[in-house]
A and B are shown apart, each in its own frame.
Chain A
């Protein structure tokens, strides 16, 4: 059986990746309907056993672990998608601006990006958080901003190649305005590398937010995402319980899925470039 997507044959790993992503999206969207218990509802003793009512047992406060996982996934995935989208809005618009307008705007933006990339991302975010605290909006804006530097570089380099093309000259010659050129001439042609990049940036953001929460600097209680669940459950690994491995494994599996798909997209691009 072969499945095709956008006219390209899916290989096994890519199909697996898509299946994983769709499952996660489904679970995240319908979490409130699927979860047998409420997110913060205390239903039994701490670390209760696995039984018919509690498929994964209960957690450190006696809440249903499966329900916690479903709700935590909503937070993790929702937050990461929001950050990645914001990151693309900032990165793509500033990248296009730098490439199409050029001149001092380009220079200033490039230097700014160099400056932000001069220290490791994690350290940069630490520094911002130490001043402003782990407020949810601070987290979203800071991570989106620091991550948009990579989208900026990609968009700029792709767009720089496109501005030289004849169809852009033609659009300029027939007097189209700046916005038209950006939206109708450049963006559609820059789309395919940006889609693969979206997958990679999502992975990065997803892992990054989870790592921050794991360190206690991300999502703050009473909210919980998978990263903070790993932190909360970490102690019981020494008792032989698998609790911290469940949210950590959930994070790992989704990242693997997205990476399989992104890897496939990148190989498609390489193949089409090779043929051209």
Chain B
């Protein structure tokens, strides 16, 4: 099993390296004048020449790429082109904020999705299942900002229950922080819940058709025992891998939600940086998002392998 897990790990590292090539190539190698598009209207021949020198555009791409990777490995993310700040110090608090919001949403969404998924599977075909089915199809279709503004309109403006902006400061205590980020959290939960719920339902239903469940029913076990002792443990592997994949979505879904609620996170920083052509910041944020995405995919693979004895024994 260790060999398979090791192979997955190596594959993930290779993917990450490929992603870094892609991110570098996308930001610096595309046709077009990078220095010109950064300076826009402020471009004079002198500033252009200076910026080209600063960006080391006079050197070959491979040299620049190796230099970038080497600095990246040492934790040096470069300096921002717009405010000359050290990118690493600018990113650190925002990354913490984004991780906080994503974790908050995950802690609510995962148990809720499992519970509702089980209930809809148990009451398959009845009204609660149908409502959840149509509801989840609609939730998948709704853009995050629609949900977000709907929630703001109802909960923040009309009822005045919650703040509509999640403008947390670095020294905000945990209590107020949880309240401030409640609306963004609910938006993210609604966005991810539907998919996880549907997958849980499908996984449990497919297990419920197996002979050993029929055996348990014939033995006369109460339903909660059939579910908790026989169905759930077997459905766990597919469910967990779906959850890990959805958390990958959460990392990206956070970008839109952060913008709506003016939450000082990594996503908002990246959107700003893209608009300003701030290449070092875009590269750094891109690498962090890509790492989180690849890491969660790896986690999903590993859990599936560990939980399934048949996959564990395959050594090819």
Interface, chain A (partner B; CB < 8 A): 13, 114-116, 118-124, 126-133, 203, 207, 210-211, 214-217, 230, 234, 237-240, 242, 244-245, 248-249, 251-252, 255-256, 258-260, 263
A to B CB contacts below 8 Å, 14 in the list: A119-B293, A123-B285, A123-B286, A127-B22, A130-B274, A211-B144, A214-B143, A215-B271, A238-B164, A242-B153, A248-B143, A248-B150, A251-B143, A256-B142
> Closest B-chain residue to A122, C-beta based?
B252
Contacts of A116 in B (CB 8 A): 22
Tell me the dominant secondary structure on chain B's binding face: helix
Cβ contact within 8 Å between A259 and B290: no
Cβ contact within 8 Å between B149 and A245: yes
Shortest Cβ gap from B146 to chain A (Å): 4
Cβ contact within 8 Å between B274 and A120: no
B294 at the interface (CB under 8 A from A): yes
Given A118-B294, A130-B27, does the pair A249, B146 have CB atoms closer than 8 Å?
Answer: yes
Shortest Cβ gap from B61 to chain A (Å): 13
Interface contacts beyond A120-B248, A252-B146: sample of 15 additional A-B pairs, CB < 8 Å, sorted by A: A115-B18, A120-B252, A123-B290, A126-B274, A126-B282, A127-B26, A214-B256, A217-B271, A237-B149, A237-B153, A238-B156, A252-B142, A256-B137, A256-B141, A256-B142
Shortest Cβ gap from B278 to chain A (Å): 8
Cβ contact within 8 Å between B141 and A252: yes
Contacts of B138 in A (CB 8 A): 256
Cβ contact within 8 Å between A129 and B274: yes
Interface-side segment among B29-37, B117-125, B169-177: B29-37
B28 at the interface (CB under 8 A from A): yes
Docked pose: A239 CA to B149 CA in angstroms: 12
Docked pose: A57 CA to B215 CA in angstroms: 65
Cβ contact within 8 Å between B146 and A251: yes
B260 at the interface (CB under 8 A from A): yes
Cβ contact within 8 Å between A211 and B286: no
Which residues of B259-300 are within 8 A (CB) of A? Answer: 259-260, 270-271, 273-275, 277-279, 282-283, 285-286, 289-290, 293-294
Docked pose: A6 CA to B158 CA in angstroms: 47
Contacts of A115 in B (CB 8 A): 18, 22
Shortest Cβ gap from A18 to chain B (Å): 15
Given A131-B32, A242-B153, A252-B146, does the pair A119, B19 have CB atoms closer than 8 Å?
Answer: yes
Shortest Cβ gap from A109 to chain B (Å): 15
Cβ contact within 8 Å between B145 and A131: no
Shortest Cβ gap from B103 to chain A (Å): 18
A-B contact count (CB 8 A): 145
Tell me the dominant secondary structure on chain A's binding face: helix
Shortest Cβ gap from A195 to chain B (Å): 19
B255 at the interface (CB under 8 A from A): yes
Contacts of A129 in B (CB 8 A): 274
The 4 residue pairs across chains A and B that have the minimum distance between CB atoms: A248-B146, A127-B26, A255-B141, A119-B290
Cβ contact within 8 Å between B26 and A230: no
Cβ contact within 8 Å between B22 and A118: yes
Docked pose: A211 CA to B144 CA in angstroms: 9
Shortest Cβ gap from A266 to chain B (Å): 11
> Closest B-chain residue to A133, C-beta based?
B37
Shortest Cβ gap from A44 to chain B (Å): 24
Docked pose: A276 CA to B105 CA in angstroms: 43
Contacts of B141 in A (CB 8 A): 203, 252, 255-256, 258-259
Cβ contact within 8 Å between A119 and B289: yes
Contacts of A133 in B (CB 8 A): 37, 277
Contacts of B145 in A (CB 8 A): 211, 214, 230, 244, 248
Docked pose: A119 CA to B32 CA in angstroms: 23
Shortest Cβ gap from B183 to chain A (Å): 12
Shortest Cβ gap from A58 to chain B (Å): 19
Contact mask B155-182 → A, CB, 8 Å, 1/0?
0111000001000000000000000000
Which one, B34, B248, B255, contacts A131 given CB within 8 A?
A: B34
Docked pose: A237 CA to B147 CA in angstroms: 13
Contacts of B260 in A (CB 8 A): 234
Cβ contact within 8 Å between B252 and A260: no
> Closest B-chain residue to A116, C-beta based?
B22
Cβ contact within 8 Å between B146 and A245: yes
Docked pose: A107 CA to B32 CA in angstroms: 30
Cβ contact within 8 Å between B150 and A245: yes
Docked pose: A263 CA to B32 CA in angstroms: 42
Docked pose: A127 CA to B281 CA in angstroms: 11
Shortest Cβ gap from B220 to chain A (Å): 32
Cβ contact within 8 Å between B277 and A119: no
B140 at the interface (CB under 8 A from A): yes
Docked pose: A119 CA to B26 CA in angstroms: 12
> Closest A-chain residue to B158, C-beta based?
A240
Given A119-B293, A126-B282, A242-B153, does the pair A132, B137 have CB atoms closer than 8 Å?
Answer: no
